[in-house]
Structure 1
Amino acid sequence: MSAPPLDPRAVALLACPVCAAPFAAGPGDTGLRCAEGHSVDRARQGHLTLLPPGRRPATGDSAEMVADRVAFLAAGHYDAVTAALADAVTAPGVPVTLLDLGGGTGHHLARLLDGLPGAVGVVLDASRYAARRAARAHPRAIAVVADTWARLPVRDGVVDRALVVFAPRNGPEIARVLRPEGRLVVVTPAPDHLGEIIAPLGLLRVDPGKAGRLAATLEPHLVREGAERHRRTLRLDHAAVATLVGMGPHARHLTAAGLAASLARLPADVQVTISVDVTTYRRVP
């Protein structure tokens, strides 16, 4: 399936990584050109790469991690997380422009856009493999390879909702791109997330100080409005558990043989808790 044409309303959210000028789509959707004459080619897979001068693309998720993410999300296991995200995104009103930071394959953003017929979105991710998938996620979304710790290739004050789902967040830059009435919605793992399989499989534990560090990085620039915890229990076979492990940071710390050996000691039907905190922030005036 070929990537859809670049939506001009989504293109209008982007800024040149060289001079920060607005972009316009080039002829035939071949790329972008800014008001100062800088141009960016669109990859044949449909995504754009907008990195500051001299900065190399980060490694990001591997092709294997992205494939596992696609499979696990397509099976519907995280549909409750997407639904909770949608509730938080639309709670203060109906957004028109969405920015998904570290958005991976664009799965969550695409589902949100399905429910927001007048909205457009941009997915920023460090992984070119994820961006290739995100470029085909939704006709009203644009996929961009970018460094979310640098200046975001997004114009000042144009975003209604910024989304961060299990990804790093850059408080000053998020505040810069949000509209005055805009909101940031962050999804983070709760302490009991994946609790049943962490010890048996040797997975990384949720850092108990993570919530405090999140507040410290955001609250000079953004004010917390509220938070809700969402929890559900899945029953997964070994293949689904392996896919769940493979799509996240745990995959970098485990070997396939070691994971298989650990799974063999578990029941065929594994109970797994999905527990997340959904927190909403607004800009500091």
Structure 2
Amino acid sequence: MRSTKAILGALLLAAVTLAGCGTTEKPSGGSPENTGAPVTVTDSRGKTVRLPHTAKRVVATEWNAVEDLVSLGVMPVGVADPKGYGQWVSAAPLKGAVTDIGTRGEPSLDTLMSLAPDLVVVTEGLPESALAQIEAKLPVVVIKGGDLKDSIGTMFHGLNTIATATGTGKRATQLKSEFDAKLAEDRKAVEGLGANGEKVAFADAYVASGTVTIRPYTKGSQVSEVFARLGLDNPWPMTGDPAYGLGKADVEGLTRLPDARFWYSANDSEGDPFTEELANNAIWKGLPFVKNGKVQRLPDSLWMFGGPKSMQQYADAAVAALKK
């Protein structure tokens, strides 16, 4: 079975060709809060989507959109791979009966139709063929999965677009305020620990055909931007893809890092390549941050490409890691 990160890697590769410019502008259109009145929203393609009323029955094909919906108080009726979502996203858990619509890359059109949703939310990483099939039958709003030029702004633009479509603008404003307050609080904590300016390299890894592939989260990636707002420095020397800021390296590539803190994400559902496959690797064991005990696995189930609630979890996880 291919890992979630390996599958995501393929999806992100498709997303790179679709990624556009920074999107900090507010989505056009709108509707009164939860009135059920007609609503008009412009999605990330610049396409105007008109709904007869604010969407109540919503399906989402990617987990950032799922997290946004749950955070806004709109429990989706259908989700791609809800089991995987439960393993990777703890910030906004699913509740009640949520239908599995298939994989994130290939959702089932028959299942989507059977749910009679008011709206389907997809990301630009969804293959064009799948998007065309869904859009031929159901109203669709597209949001960006990421944008290296403005990852945090893109995150909130997607949230606001969904809020417009669902009539939950007040809750979106509250989520933004909570995010800003949390990062301000944790930045003070970083300063209080005397850790301002410390170098932190964040990564994850997956194993395919016995080979460990490491994914650096380079400058501009969403998690890296959260850490930067806390006052931490990203020492990765490479540039990541334009959508998500993800790089690619093998264990030899880690020798390019200085003696920084090395934090990584893993999940018990897929194993831990750093403590398993690399445990006896001579290059890994010889890295300065390994020898100096600066390697830390951050808590499981923090989604690296999620919404403001997931990013607040990363801010708290950073402070906790600095205290160790």
- The structure with the largest alpha-carbon Rg is 2
More helix by share: 2
Q: What interval of TM-score do these two structures reach, taking the shorter chain for normalisation?
A: 0.3 to 0.5
- Greater per-residue strand proportion: 1
